[in-house]
Amino acid sequence: MKIAQFTDILKGDAQADSVVPSTGHSAWLTLFTAGAMTFLAVFALALSLASGRLANRWSDALANTATIRIAASGDQMEAQTLRVLDILKATPGVASSRALTDDEQKALLAPWFGPDLPLDQLPIPRLIELTEADPGYDAEGLRQRLVAEAPGASLDDHTRWRKPLAEAAQKLRLLGIVSIVLILGAMAAMITLAASAALEANAQIIKVLRLVGARDTYIARAFVRRFTLRALIGAAIGAAAAMTGIALLPSADAAGGFLTGLGFQGAGWILPLLLPPLAALIAFAATRRAAFSKLRTLT
């Protein structure tokens, strides 16, 4: 029922509208508040979407792969590598494992030492990449077996440094969502204040309308419609400005830095478009509440 009233109210009724004079400053206040708050909400939304993506990427990497490094002298190296691969095959929770080839290791090291590294003549550790199954393996148990059977091998499962980052990204996403809720709450509060001020300023008009037989819904409508439309327009401007700003940010590159990854991606662009209707809905509810509670104090 309320939704029908909400869509109804946007259609308009010029006659019912004109019974309340448009009050300059509360109009601008609502327009500006809705615009500024929606602008901020779009950024908070972008922030929480970006940190959400980051959190997912980092926890995926966390969950899926780990590296075993084998440092041993020449003849031991080959034996320990084979031993570790055997151990991994027998370890429940490890989906696959393989030793990196010399070329792959060279490629990994090239950025630091250049392309012409004589790998076979250097005591470079051998790397084994393992992919985790679901459910995962017991990292501590694997570590102990490696110590016992291949003393040169050590397991690096990234957890130590990535876990806090993934957690931080998740918290950032939560903060973004909390910010959106707070911003929308502040918008509701400010629109309520503006609406109450407008109702107060028009007390005499409300009195006359009541005297000639106007029902509360008729009077409230004139105010509610006005504030809802202003909030919708203000929020649309705010959202458009913020989305333009975000679209103009340098796009995310492969390195996926957090700042350059702040934009919306794909279907994510739809979310900020939902904010103006949401702002209108908030203005509708806030003004309606303010109007009816004010009207109840009059005869």
Partner 1 sequence: MIAFQNVAYGYGGAELLSDVSLRLAPGSFHFLTGPSGSGKSTFLKLCYAELLPTQGEVMLFDRDVRSLSRDDVALTRRRLGVVHQDCQFLDHLPIAANVALPMAVAGYPDQPQDLSDLLAWVGLGQHANVLPPSLSGGERQRAALARAVITAPDVILADEPTGNVDWEMSLRLLTLLVELNKMGKTILVATHDMNLIRSAKAQVATRVLRIRDRRIQLAGADL
Q: Which positions touch partner 1 (CB under 8 A)? A: 13, 15-16, 18-19, 21, 205, 207-216, 218, 295-296, 299
Taking the complex as a whole, the smallest distance from the CB of residue 34 to partner 1 amounts, in Å, to 25
Contact by Cβ (8 Å): 125, 58: no
249 contacts: CB under 8 Å, gap ≥ 6: 260, 262, 263
Tokens of 160: 């130590």
Least distance to partner 1 from the beta carbon of 214, Å?
4
CB of 11 to partner 1, least distance (A): 13
Closer to partner 1 by Cβ: residue 129 or 216: 216
In the complex, the smallest distance separating the C-beta of residue 221 from partner 1, rounded to whole angstroms, is 11
Residue number, 5 or 144, with CB nearest to partner 1: 5
Residue 118 or residue 213: which is nearer to partner 1 going by CB? 213
70 within 8 A of 126, measured Cβ to Cβ: yes
Which residues lie closer than 8 Å to 47 by C-beta, 6 or more apart? 172, 175, 176, 179, 262
**Residue whose entry in the numeric block shows the structure tokens 């005297």:** 211
Q: Please give the order of strands across the beta sheet that includes 126-132.
A: 94-99, 126-132, 65-70, 153-156
Task: Rank residues 20 and 242 by Cβ distance to partner 1 and give the closer one.
Answer: 20
Least distance in Å: CB of 24 to partner 1?
Answer: 13
Select 13 or 78, whichever has its Cβ closest to partner 1: 13
